[in-house]
Structure 1
Amino acid sequence: MVTAAASANLASLRSSTSLFLNRPFSLSMLSGIRSSLVLRTCLKPTPLRLVSSWPPPHHASSSVRRAMSSSSSSSSSPSSLEETVKNTVAENPVVVYSKSWCSYSSEVKSLFNGLQVKPLVIELDELGAEGSQLQNVLEKLTGQYTVPNVFIGGKHIGGCSDTLQLYNKGELEPMLAEANAKTGQT
């Protein structure tokens, strides 16, 4: 009997799947679907564009990942995560808290790459539950929930538009130089 029931379910699944696959796909099918994570993280739609260096390199070292995972276990207090963020930002000239799939994060990483700056990039979406906890701590410390969350010389810069605005005004490169962030500087 279990086999007959399983066969009936499989046949039902096949017929409903084939009906869906044979139907033309339209945007109206997606009208009710919203991803709250994408809307909350990116806040506005992003046009698709070519990124010259794809996939972006992952700069978060294993020691940073170990520090994040050891300091942000489920029993850890938010204050220990706050200390981890503060120490990470203080010890590195440029830190970008990012998500690997976010186009705004990719844009900032690409900008720094073009300026010959190698920031410490922490991909929150690759840290599991710790990434989510870390993003909440970043919001508490900076007032910014979205990514990228950029720090230069220990100072919170903001997100993608803030970083690009500094670049367009000619203020980003002096800030990077002051933080000794250029590749090859000591």
Structure 2
Amino acid sequence: MMALMAGTSSLLNRGFESPSISPVFLRTGFPSVSRFPNYASTCNSTSISLSGRTTSRNAGRAMCSASFGSRLEETVKKTVGENPVVVYSKTWCSYSSEVKSLFKRLGVEPLVIELDQLGPQGPQLQKTLERLTGQHTVPNVFIGGKHIGGCTDTVKLHRKGELGPLLSESGAKKSES
């Protein structure tokens, strides 16, 4: 728990802004509640009582871990369902940068979630994305609630002329008539 608090504290102390992508973090660096789900939820590591019996700390943590994983899945599903375009990214990844630049050129502001800015929850979220999509790399792109794939898949859709219509259908971009 202390490690999580330290990780959250370090996020609070770092400002994050990028003019090239949709603002995901407030100026304080903490995820915006209105635009970004709270991936930093944790479970209490103390003993818990089930049917009058108190379980050990390790059993409680195992149960917590399972429920945390399912909460992350639900949060991802909610995030991609409520936003026209979502890009799970890492700030240092050139493929993520390429996808974000493509969306910017197209006039689309995706919800960008930088996994490397989430502390210990970043790798957990990436594992959750892999379970849901089968893809273990970033960027992990969703349009209109559907998994598109990574950089190659997104660029390929653009080259084939299929990305624009997908973006229009999702409400991320006004259709060009």
Q: Report the TM-score when normalising by structure 1.
A: 0.64
Deviation of 1:57 (Å): 3.7
Greater Rg, structure 1 or structure 2? 1
Deviation of 1:56 (Å): 4.1
Aligned pairs for 1:115-126 (under 5 A) are: 115-126=106-117
Letter in 2 for 1:91: E
**Aligned twin of 2:170:** 179
Work out whether 1:69 is the aligned partner of 2:40.
yes
Deviation of 1:182 (Å): 1.6
CA deviation map 1:84-129 (0-9, x unaligned): 0000000000000000000000000000000000000000000011
- Once residues 55 and 132 of structure 1 are traced to their aligned partners in structure 2, the CA distance between those partners, rounded to angstroms, is 25
Aligned pairs for 1:1-186 (under 5 A) are: 56-57=20-21, 59-61=23-25, 62-63=32-33, 64-65=35-36, 67-70=38-41, 75=64, 76-182=67-173
- Once residues 89 and 71 of structure 1 are traced to their aligned partners in structure 2, the CA distance between those partners, rounded to angstroms, is 22
- Once residues 105 and 85 of structure 1 are traced to their aligned partners in structure 2, the CA distance between those partners, rounded to angstroms, is 18
- Once residues 42 and 81 of structure 2 are traced to their aligned partners in structure 1, the CA distance between those partners, rounded to angstroms, is 17
Relative to 1, partners in 2 of residues 1:157 and 1:136: Cα closer, same or farther, differing over 3 Å? Answer: same
CA deviation map 1:4-23 (0-9, x unaligned): xxxxxxxxxxxxxxxxxxxx
- Once residues 181 and 132 of structure 1 are traced to their aligned partners in structure 2, the CA distance between those partners, rounded to angstroms, is 28
Letter in 2 for 1:84: T
More helix by share: 1
**Unmatched tracts of structure 2, length 5 or more:** 1-17, 26-31, 45-60
Q: CA RMSD in A?
A: 2.4
8 Å CA contact 2:37, 2:75 repeated in 1: no
Relative to 1, partners in 2 of residues 1:111 and 1:136: Cα closer, same or farther, differing over 3 Å? Answer: same
Q: Identity, % of aligned pairs? A: 63
8 Å CA contact 1:117, 1:182 repeated in 2: yes
8 Å CA contact 1:94, 1:152 repeated in 2: yes
Deviation of 1:150 (Å): 0.0
- Once residues 81 and 58 of structure 1 are traced to their aligned partners in structure 2, the CA distance between those partners, rounded to angstroms, is 22
Letter in 1 for 2:69: P
Q: Report the TM-score when normalising by structure 2.
A: 0.68
**Runs of 4+ displaced beyond 6 Å:** 71-74
Relative to 1, partners in 2 of residues 1:72 and 1:178: Cα closer, same or farther, differing over 3 Å? Answer: farther
**Unmatched tracts of structure 1, length 5 or more:** 1-53
Letter in 1 for 2:105: G
